């Protein structure tokens, strides 16, 4: 429907109808206005499957939903680094929504993994905003290509579950832009999600739902968002203020109470009716965008989609350690140990919880064709060791040639609504791994978890496979990776620290009461570990393959550029091993020298390439200003400092294989305001300004020239270099106290003269 037609429709609506349109008719539907032909429109969770509730709705995944297909959760899909694959997953979800009459699927969830403890990390993508944004963009693109909307969530700075409905995320401006907003910015600008879901928390004192700065100025005015903003379920607490801030749709609703408030505010003049009209227009625009593009022939083919879920799972499993034990051979006698071999943990708890139409375990997938024995090993309802289960498992391991332990985090450890308390696996599982490894030298651990765990046994096992929460088809995918039918090709979208205390947010995570200060600033994840040169268990971007890749011939299409130019980077990648495989090529940019504090390097692009043995492909990246920029709080915009930047190509963030340097010249001069506190060192940076001050110095601004005052001994004690270094931080007003025979008025006159200098 055209914008004009929607405006006409809104003009025919009564105040009551318009107010009602701004909140859900029930848990999952927008209001219908039958007399005007406006249908109700259904939204459903998301993000990694369809949680459509036909009966009583709830937002915590408690009540039943239709049988559907559970894809790998965000933690795993990010590990694929595969935009095309995630787009295909999105297309599949979009088709499922069409078949089920769902207009908007509630996801993707792009919140940054600030701490490994966040209860919802399994749903989120990464500690890096570029990767998170690219994965989200791919999913949005796929879903929306089927004329179904997405709701990128939870906007903004919602990085913990503790007190999620009342906490106040205190984040400085630069950190918000470089880390937390950045994860939304890319996909919102590039893929235009139909809706955005605002989060529960406050940002710097103002609830997200009430935050004009982010909901309107950033989202709409700067990023061009043109869909509707909906609240997270129950995130509205001041309906009229929220509407003014740019929150269009309240979900699920307030049983009419807030509609009355909106009506009252319009009648009293507190709220301009045009603000209400705009919100209704935005909602109707999306309602009709879906309605007019309904695909009534769409079929939800669960078995077919299960196969897609399996293909996605294959690329979300990260091989973390392989001391020559993997892949397994069909001839080996293998003990599958651990409850998750039979009943995999493949999704997290809460609103994303899918009622899977079937689940394939590794044990089931391996039945027939392989020589497998199974022992349960532990009971995940308990943290304590069950001695009988442990003894059986050790016995099975002893009698086999290889032991594969299917371990991880039990359901209760990670879920929406609360955070983890620590980063350990249950004691009973750690003990099982150690006892099995003691009798079986060929022990492999397959992990099922949505967020990093500590691995005290890492030195005792020969293989570790991170299966994340791989969706309902995970068992088949794990099996194919173990036996080499599929070559692992995923890499970690987050750092696994050695221990929780190493994490940069450790000292301030979850905050004090409702106050949560993001004290680590921009140093989230590898940005911190790199800067501190800290050892980690597994770095960001790390993952092994059954083949090997060589990198060569890194080329830049220029070695000097302006920040308005683009840089073309190409690199050759060769499969030098004996098996076909996919490699994730990572491009990081490092600013060699900067006046602001910056990370050592930042991920600016990546590509996944498939290569046959012996095959070489050239990967091309195009970098623009943003790849070199930091967010300047002086100009409230992205800025590049003139200087040299290293273009780094890596297998992981800690395995940089090639690098080349480019000089970037800034086309923007940051305004510099001289004051009486400006240091001589800062004046020196501008030759014109320095010439003036130097003249004054020669004329005795500092009293007699230091050389004349100094004795020979003093001269020996202080070199010119030392003297320069010491005066570097001398403010312009300094000479007043050091015998310069000048007054504050003289210094002020000098300051005015410097500020008047032309560029």
Site residues for ligand BGC per CB under 6 A: 45-46, 59, 106, 153, 232-233, 351
Residues 6+ apart with CB under 8 A from 70: 48, 49, 309, 346, 347, 354, 356, 359, 471, 472
Say how far apart CA 42 and CA 102 lie, in whole Å: 5
Q: How far is the CB of 621 from ligand BGC (least distance, A)?
A: 33
Residues 6+ apart with CB under 8 A from 713: none
Q: How far is the CB of 369 from ligand BGC (least distance, A)?
A: 41
Q: How far is the CB of 213 from ligand BGC (least distance, A)?
A: 22
Say how far apart CA 53 and CA 61 lie, in whole Å: 9
The number of angstroms, rounded, from the C-alpha of 342 to the middle of its chain's C-alpha atoms is 31
Q: How far is the CB of 598 from ligand BGC (least distance, A)?
A: 33
Say how far apart CA 96 and CA 707 lie, in whole Å: 82
Cβ closer to ligand BGC: 54 or 221?
A: 54
Mapped onto helix, strand or coil, the DSSP state of residue 528 is helix
Cβ closer to ligand BGC: 126 or 632?
A: 126
Phi-psi region of 588 (alpha: psi -120 to 50; beta: other; left: phi over 0): beta
Catalytic residue among 45, 128, 232, 380: 232
Q: How far is the CB of 234 from ligand BGC (least distance, A)?
A: 7
| Residue 232: active-site member | yes
Cβ closer to ligand BGC: 195 or 442?
A: 195
Beta strand ranges found along 279-429 (DSSP E): 318-322, 333-337, 355-356, 371-375, 402-408
Cβ closer to ligand BGC: 214 or 483?
A: 214
Cβ closer to ligand BGC: 49 or 735?
A: 49
Say how far apart CA 49 and CA 99 lie, in whole Å: 13
Closest among 729, 728, 727, 731 to 750, alpha carbons compared: 731
Q: How far is the CB of 59 from ligand BGC (least distance, A)?
A: 3
Cβ closer to ligand BGC: 229 or 689?
A: 229
Burial pattern 130-166, b for ≥16 Cβ within 10 A else e, equals: bbbbbbbbbbbbbbbebbbbbbbbbbbbbbbbbbbee
Q: How far is the CB of 417 from ligand BGC (least distance, A)?
A: 8
DSSP state of 579: S
Rounding to the nearest 10 degrees, give the CA dihedral for residues 260, 262, 266, 269.
110
Say how far apart CA 405 and CA 161 lie, in whole Å: 30
> At 724, which helix (H) or strand (E)?
helix 720-728
Cβ closer to ligand BGC: 59 or 733?
A: 59
Q: How far is the CB of 656 from ligand BGC (least distance, A)?
A: 37
Two tokens at 550? 């060589």
> At 515, which helix (H) or strand (E)?
strand 515-517
In degrees rounded to 5, what are phi and psi of residue 684? -60, -25
Q: How far is the CB of 414 from ligand BGC (least distance, A)?
A: 15
Cβ closer to ligand BGC: 351 or 575?
A: 351
Closest among 223, 272, 214, 278 to 245, alpha carbons compared: 214
Helix, strand, coil: what percent of the chain each, to 5? 35, 20, 45
**DSSP secondary structure of 176-234:** IIIIITHHHHHHHHHH--SEEEE-SSEETTEEGGG-HIIIIIIIIIIT---SEEEE-TT
Say how far apart CA 332 and CA 321 lie, in whole Å: 20
Say how far apart CA 197 and CA 665 lie, in whole Å: 39
Closest among 39, 134, 147, 132 to 87, alpha carbons compared: 134
Helices (H), 517-556: 526-531
Burial pattern 108-127, b for ≥16 Cβ within 10 A else e, equals: bbbbbbbbbbbbbbbbbbbb
Q: How far is the CB of 232 from ligand BGC (least distance, A)?
A: 5
Within a 10 A sphere around the Cβ of 469, how many other Cβ atoms?
29
Cβ closer to ligand BGC: 25 or 458?
A: 25
Cβ closer to ligand BGC: 161 or 602?
A: 161
Say how far apart CA 97 and CA 367 lie, in whole Å: 34
Beta bridge partners, 202, equal 168, 207
Q: How far is the CB of 153 from ligand BGC (least distance, A)?
A: 6
Cβ closer to ligand BGC: 53 or 545?
A: 53
Question: Cβ-closest residue to ligand BGC?
Answer: 59
Q: How far is the CB of 667 from ligand BGC (least distance, A)?
A: 41
Cβ closer to ligand BGC: 59 or 491?
A: 59
Say how far apart CA 481 and CA 462 lie, in whole Å: 15
Q: How far is the CB of 229 from ligand BGC (least distance, A)?
A: 14
> At 712, which helix (H) or strand (E)?
helix 712-717
Cβ closer to ligand BGC: 286 or 375?
A: 286
Query: With contact defined as beta carbons under 8 Å apart, do 624 and 618 qualify?
Result: no
Closest among 370, 361, 377, 376 to 327, alpha carbons compared: 370
Query: Can you say whether the dihedral through the CA atoms of 122, 126, 129, 131 is positive or negative?
Result: negative
Residues marked active site are found at 232
């Amino acid at each position: 429907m055209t914008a004009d037609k929607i405006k006409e429709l809104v003009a025919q609506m009564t105040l009551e109808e318009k107010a009602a349109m701004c909140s859900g008719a029930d848990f999952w539907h927008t209001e219908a206005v039958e007399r005007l032909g406006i249908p109700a429109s259904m939204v459903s969770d998301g993000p990694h499957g369809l949680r459509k509730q036909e009966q009583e709705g709830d937002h915590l995944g408690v009540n039943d939903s239709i049988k559907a297909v559970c894809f790998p959760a965000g933690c795993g899909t990010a590990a694929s680094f595969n935009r095309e694959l995630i787009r295909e997953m999105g297309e599949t979800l979009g088709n499922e929504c069409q078949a089920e009459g769902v207009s908007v699927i509630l996801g993707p969830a792009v919140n940054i993994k600030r701490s490994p403890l966040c209860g919802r990390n399994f749903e989120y993508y990464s500690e890096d905003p570029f990767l998170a944004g690219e994965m989200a963009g791919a999913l949005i693109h796929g879903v929306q290509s089927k004329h179904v909307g997405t709701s990128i969530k939870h906007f903004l700075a919602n990085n913990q579950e503790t007190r999620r409905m009342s906490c106040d995320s205190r984040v400085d401006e630069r950190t918000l832009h470089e880390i937390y907003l950045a994860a939304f910015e890319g996909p919102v600008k590039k893929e235009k999600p139909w809706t955005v879901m605002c989060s529960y928390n406050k940002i710097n004192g103002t609830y997200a739902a009430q935050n004009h700065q982010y909901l309107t100025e950033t989202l709409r005015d700067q990023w061009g968002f043109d869909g509707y903003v909906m609240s997270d379920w129950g995130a509205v607490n001041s309906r009229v203020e929220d509407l003014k801030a740019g929150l269009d749709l309240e979900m699920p609703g307030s049983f009419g109470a807030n509609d009355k408030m909106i009506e009252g505010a319009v009648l009293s003049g507190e709220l301009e009716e045009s603000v209400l009209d705009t919100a209704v227009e935005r909602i109707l625009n999306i309602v009709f965008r879906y309605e007019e593009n309904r695909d009534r022939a769409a079929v939800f083919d669960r078995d077919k989609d299960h196969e897609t879920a399996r293909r996605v799972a294959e690329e979300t499993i990260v091989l973390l350690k392989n001391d020559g034990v993997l892949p397994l051979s069909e001839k080996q006698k293998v003990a599958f140990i651990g409850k998750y071999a039979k009943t995999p943990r493949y999704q997290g708890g809460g609103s994303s919880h899918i009622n899977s139409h079937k689940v394939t375990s590794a044990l089931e997938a391996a039945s027939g064709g392989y020589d497998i024995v199974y022992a349960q090993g532990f009971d995940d309802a308990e943290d304590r060791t069950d001695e009988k289960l442990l003894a059986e498992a050790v016995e099975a391991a002893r009698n086999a040639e290889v032991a594969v332990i299917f371990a991880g985090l039990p359901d209760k450890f990670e879920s929406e609504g609360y955070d983890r308390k620590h980063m350990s696996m249950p004691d009973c599982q750690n003990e099982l791994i150690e006892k099995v490894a003691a009798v079986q030298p060929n022990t492999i651990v397959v992990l099922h978890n949505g967020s990093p765990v500590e691995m005290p046994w890492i030195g005792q096992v020969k293989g570790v496979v991170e299966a994340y929460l791989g969706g309902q088809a995970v068992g088949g995918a794990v099996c194919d990776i173990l036996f080499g039918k599929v070559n692992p090709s995923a890499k970690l979208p987050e750092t696994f620290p050695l221990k929780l205390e190493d994490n940069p947010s450790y000292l301030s995570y979850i905050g004090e009461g409702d106050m949560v200060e993001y004290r680590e600033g921009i140093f989230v994840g590898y940005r911190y570990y790199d800067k501190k040169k800290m050892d980690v268990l597994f770095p960001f971007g790390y993952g092994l393959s059954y083949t090997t890749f060589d990198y060569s011939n890194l080329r830049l299409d220029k070695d000097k550029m302006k920040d308005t130019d683009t840089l073309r980077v190409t690199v050759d990648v060769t499969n030098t091993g004996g098996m076909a495989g996919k490699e994730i090529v990572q491009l990081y940019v490092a600013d060699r020298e900067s006046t602001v504090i910056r990370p050592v390097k930042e991920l600016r692009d990546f590509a996944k390439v498939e290569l046959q043995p012996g095959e070489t492909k050239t990967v091309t990246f195009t970098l623009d200003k943003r790849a070199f920029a930091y967010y300047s709080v002086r100009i409230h915009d992205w800025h590049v400092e003139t200087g040299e930047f290293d273009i780094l190509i890596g297998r992981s963030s800690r395995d940089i294989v090639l690098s080349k340097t480019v000089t970037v010249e800034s086309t923007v001069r940051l305004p510099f305001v001289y004051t009486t506190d400006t240091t001589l060192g800062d004046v020196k940076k501008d030759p014109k300004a320095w010439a003036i001050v130097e003249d004054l110095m020669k004329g005795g601004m500092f009293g007699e020239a230091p050389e004349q005052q100094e004795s020979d001994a003093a001269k020996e004690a202080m070199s010119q270099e030392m003297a320069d270094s010491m005066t570097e931080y001398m403010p312009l007003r300094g000479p007043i106290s050091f015998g310069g025979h000048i007054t504050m008025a003289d210094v002020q006159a000098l300051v005015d003269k410097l500020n008047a200098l032309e560029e």
